[in-house]
Chains A and B, each alone.
Chain A
Amino acid sequence: MNAVKILIVITLAISLIRLMRFELKKTINFQTFLFWAAILIGSVVLFINPDISENIARLIGIGRGVDSMFFLSILLLFYLNFQLYIRIQKLDRDMTNTIIQTSKKFHQQNNK
């Protein structure tokens, strides 16, 4: 294993430990933990044994293993971006609702 591979695997391992800490502290829910853990462990396995990507490439009908990884990474990034957009929209809506309710309640309390 060369130096770059070792560095990447160490980085991914640290990320995995942090992820486990988040789960233990209940900062993230179990589904989110499983999702990210699968991605991180999958990445570690692929970096240690790149031949697996060739099998995935054959499975999804893309020529080279590296190409299939790019293809899947782009799909994953689109999906994560979309999830983030949905989450931000929900937060924005929740914040607006809270501010509207707070302003009415505060006003009524002040006028009692």
Chain B
Amino acid sequence: MWILIPAYNEEKVIASVIKDLQTHGYEHILIVNDGSRDNTARIAEQSGAEVLTHIINRGQGAALRTGLEYLRDTKQADIVVTFDADGQHRPEDITKLIQPIKNNQADIVLGSRFLCQNTIPLFRRIILKAGILFTNIISHVHLTDTHNGLRALNQTALQKIEIVHRGMEHASDIIDEISAKKLRYREIPVTILYTDYSIMKGQRSGNFIKMGCKIILKKYFS
């Protein structure tokens, strides 16, 4: 099993995120350094992770695509867990996330912050709910959380899922692919740690409107 972390300018937290995962027994960690201008790549390598680097920043979708293709084709990974670099995910949630895959009940498991008690800032909660409604209508898949970076994929999902968007819209691509390729999916409650740093690093609310427009353009006009 591999943990895939797309990272952009995360030198402040990347070492602690990797260490935390290693402490929980996860040794195979791949960082896709997405054109960071700081020391993210060097720190990640020193911390014991394998690092792939984009020479310029291309966005989280592109970084995930790099990582997923590399792990599928080169490492023949059986399970890949995507994990955020800003420290908002907990390694403790990985065990329950991969369980449905191990039990052959799902091809992809998505973490949901809305299935358990999470303290989500009000404005972010409203934006997320609007995003969920939008994605569910567009993709015809009923999910409680569509923009959560904590996911687990088995080999079937790795083979079938194609990420089209290079930016944050990749989350909708994945859900579209679940519907289009008829993948078995499950949602698992996960805890999101909203720190000042993760809020600062997270998506600006205005970006969600831009993302929505891009998704509609790509889906219906390309």
A binding-site residues for B, Cβ under 8 Å: 92, 95-96, 99-100, 102-104, 106-108
> Given B51, B55, B69, B74, which contacts A99 in the complex, CB threshold below 8 Å?
B55
Task: Provide the B21-54 mask, 1 if CB < 8 A to any CB of A, else 0.
Answer: 0000000000010000000000000000001111
A-B interface pairs (CB < 8 A), number: 34
Instruction: Write the chain A residue with the least CB distance to B73.
Output: A104
* B70 adjacent to chain A (CB < 8 Å): yes
Question: What's the Cα separation between A108 and B70 when bound, in Å?
Answer: 10
B binding-site residues for A, Cβ under 8 Å: 32, 51-56, 58, 62, 65-66, 69-70, 74, 166
Interface pair A99/B62, CB less than 8 Å apart: yes
Interface pair B166/A107, CB less than 8 Å apart: no
B10 to chain A, nearest CB (A): 17
Interface pair A107/B52, CB less than 8 Å apart: yes
Interface pair A107/B58, CB less than 8 Å apart: no
Interface pair B66/A100, CB less than 8 Å apart: yes
> Given B56, B58, B66, B74, which contacts A108 in the complex, CB threshold below 8 Å?
B74
Instruction: Write the chain A residue with the least CB distance to B218.
Output: A89
B55 to chain A, nearest CB (A): 6
Interface pair A96/B69, CB less than 8 Å apart: no
